[in-house]
Structure 1
Amino acid sequence: MLESVLWGVVGAVPLVIGAVLAGLRTWPDRLVGIVLGFGAGALIASIAFELWEEGLAQGGPLPLAVGVALGAAVYFTADRLVERWARRAGGGAAAGVPLALGALLDGIPEQLVLGFGLADGAGVSVALVVAIFVSNLPESVGSSADLIEGGVRRPAVLGIWSVVAALCALATVAGWALADVATVAVRTSLNGFAAGALLVMMVDSMIPEAQRRAKDLAGIATVLGFALAAGLATL
C-alpha cells in the first residue's frame, strides 16, 4: 500500500508544481501557449500508446469503446455545466476550469489503472513517470494562468489544483485496494474513459488555447510534445 501512496503522489505532484509556477509571476502568452501545445502533443501520445493500445490489448474493443464514449459524454456534460456557471459568474472566474476538469477526469481513471498495475506486481517504469509529468504539468500551468488572468486569487488556484492532485493520488491507492475485484472489462473501460475525456478536452479547450496564445509555434510545440511522450511510451 505504501508503494501505491508513493506513486500516487509522484503522479499527481506535477499538477501542484504547475500551479506554483503559474503563480510565481505573469508568464508571456506565447510561452504559456507553447507549454500548452507541448502538453497537448504529450497527451495525444499518451492516448494512443498507453490508454488506447494497452486497453485494446487488455480487454478488446468493446469495453474500450464504451469507456471512450462515456468519458467523452461526461466531460462534455460537465464542461457545459461549467460554461453555464461562468455566464452567471460573469465569465472570468471560469477561465481555465475546463483544463482542470480534464485533468481530473483523466487523472482519476489513469491513476486507478496505475494502482491496479502496482497491485498486480507490474511495477512502474521511469519512462511512465516522466510521461505523466510531461503531460500533467502543462495542463496545470495553462489552467492556472487562465484562472489567475480571470481574477481568481493565487492561493485559490493552488487550492484547486491541490484538491485535484489529492483526488488523483487517492485514486492510485483505490486502484491498489480494488485490484482483486476489478475485472478486465472494468480496467479497459477506465482506460477508454480517460481517453474519451482527454480527446474532448484537447479539441475544445487545450489546443484552441495553445493556438490563441502561441499562434504559429503551437503546431511545432505539439509535435515536439508528441515525439517525446511517444518515445518514452515505447521504452
Structure 2
Amino acid sequence: MTSALLWGLVASSSLILGGGLAYVITLPRRVVGIIMAFGAGVLVSAIAYELVEVAFETAKGTGALAVGLLAGSLAFFGGDWLIDRLGGDGRKSTSGAQASGVGLAIVLGIVLDGIPESMTLGLTVLSEGTVSIALLAAVFLSNLPEAIAATVGLSQAGWSRGRVMGLWVLVTVISGIAAQIGATAFADASDTTVAFVLAFAAGAILTMLADTMMPEAFEHGGRIVGLMTTLGFAVAFGISALE
C-alpha cells in the first residue's frame, strides 16, 4: 500500500509547483481566480462521482452517507472556525492578508484544507486497488491555484521564499502520509465505515470549497468563474467516465 503514499505525494506536489510558479511568473489575480474556479469545478465533480456515488453504493441504505456528509461538513466548519480565531483567517488570500495572521495557524489551516482530499485518495487505492485518475487530477488541479494564490499573499505578508516553499514541502509530505493512512487504517473496515469516511471527506471538501475556494475565485476572477467552474466539472466528469 506504499502506492497510496506515492500517489498522495504526486497529487499534493502541485502545491510545490504552484508555489514555485508564483515566484517565476507574475500571474494577474484575475487569472489566478479563473484557474481556481476551474479547480473548484473539478473538485465538485470528484465529490459527486468519486466520493458520494461510491459512498452511496457502499452504504447499502445504512445511513452512513448522510451521517458522514454532515459530520465532515461540521468537522471542517469547526476546525476552520477555530483556526480563523487563532489567526489563520485569509490564509489563501492573494492580498497579503496573512500579515495579520499567526504563522502556525496559517500552516494548520492549509493542512486542514488538504487532509480530506489526501485521505480519500488513499481510500480509493484501498477500495479499487489503484488510484482514481479523476480524483488524482482533481486534487492536483485544485491545489495548483490555491498554492499560487497563497504564495502571492504570504510573500506580500513578509514571508521569505524559503519559509513559503518549506511550508508547501511540509504540507505535501503530510498529505502523502494522510493518503497512506487512508489506505491502511481502513483496510479491515466494514462497508459502512468506508462509506462513512468517503462521505465525511466529501462533506469536508464541499464545505471547504464553499468557505474558501469559491469565494476567493469569484472575488478575483469575476463573473467568468461560473463558466470556468462548469468547464472544470465537465472535464473531470469526462475523465471519470473514461476510467
User: Which TM bucket (shorter chain)?
Assistant: 0.7 to 0.9
Counterpart code for 2:82: L
Of the candidates 139, 144, 152, which is equivalent to residue 145 of structure 1?
Answer: 152
Q: Secondary structure at the match of 2:189?
A: coil
Counterpart of 1:158 in structure 2 is 165
* CA positional deviation for 1:32: 0.7
* CA positional deviation for 1:91: 5.2
Change (3 A) 1:82 1:173: closer
- Whether the 8 Å contact between 1:14 and 1:137 is mirrored in structure 2 is yes
Counterpart of 2:77 in structure 1 is 76
Q: Percent identity?
A: 34
Out of 212-221 and 29-38, give the one that drifted further.
212-221
Counterpart code for 2:175: C
Counterpart of 1:52 in structure 2 is 52
Of the candidates 108, 116, 122, which is equivalent to residue 106 of structure 1?
Answer: 116
Distance 2:79 2:182 in 1: 24
Distance 1:130 1:80 in 2: 28
Distance 1:11 1:44 in 2: 16
* CA positional deviation for 1:38: 0.7
Flag structure 1 segments of 5+ consecutive residues without an equivalent. Answer: none
Out of 22-31 and 48-57, give the one that drifted further.
22-31
* CA positional deviation for 1:125: 5.1
Change (3 A) 1:127 1:206: closer
Distance 1:56 1:29 in 2: 38
Give the alignment of 1:170-189 within 5 angstroms. Answer: 170-189=177-196
Distance 2:201 2:17 in 1: 22
Out of 157-166 and 142-151, give the one that drifted further.
142-151
Flag structure 2 segments of 5+ consecutive residues without an equivalent. Answer: 90-95
- Whether the 8 Å contact between 2:115 and 2:175 is mirrored in structure 1 is no
- Whether the 8 Å contact between 1:36 and 1:139 is mirrored in structure 2 is yes
Distance 2:31 2:190 in 1: 43
Q: Summarize deviations over 1:96-126 as a string: whole Å, max 9, x none.
A: 9597245323224313313423xxx622354
Counterpart of 2:92 in structure 1 is none
Counterpart code for 1:83: D
Counterpart of 1:66 in structure 2 is 67
- Whether the 8 Å contact between 1:33 and 1:214 is mirrored in structure 2 is yes
Q: Secondary structure at the match of 1:27?
A: coil
The answer on 1:201 being equivalent to 2:203 is no
Of the candidates 92, 95, 111, which is equivalent to residue 98 of structure 2?
Answer: 92
Counterpart of 1:29 in structure 2 is 29
Distance 1:146 1:203 in 2: 20
- Whether the 8 Å contact between 2:11 and 2:137 is mirrored in structure 1 is no
Distance 2:170 2:199 in 1: 24
Change (3 A) 1:66 1:153: farther
Distance 1:101 1:3 in 2: 21
Counterpart code for 1:22: A
> What RMSD in Å do the two structures reach over aligned CA positions?
2.9
